[in-house]
Amino acid sequence: MEGFDILYLMKTPFFMGNTGVVPAEASQCDVNEEDQTNMTEKNLLLLRALTVLNDIEALKALVQSLL
């Protein structure tokens, strides 16, 4: 579907307060890795969700993978 924002799948539960869904959606959210804007947004949403969930181990793993 043209113009569909794939990150919408992550944004909706995040902004509706259901941050627990975000990590699962992030694992299924297939964005073009060459599109730096989308990758950045995906990673920021995931970082914010893991922080809200206080999932320190997942947060550390994500940060290490990004570095």
Residue 38 lies in a domain: yes
Mean pLDDT value of segment 25-31: 76
**13: in domain:** yes
Q: Dihedral sign, CA of 22, 23, 24, 28?
A: positive
Query: Range of 15's domain?
Result: 8-66
pLDDT on residue 57: 93
CB 4 within 8 A of CB 20: no
Quick one: average pLDDT of 49-54?
87
List the one residue out of 45, 38, 59 whose CA is nearest residue 13: 45
Provide the 10 A C-beta neighbour count for residue 38. 16
Number of domains in the chain: 1
DSSP per residue over 17-31, as a string?
A: T-GGGHHHHHHH---
Residue 20, domain member (yes or no): yes
Going 52 to 54 to 58 to 59, the CA torsion angle's sign is positive
The yes-or-no verdict on residue 64 having pLDDT over 80 is yes
Share of the chain above pLDDT 90, in %: 7
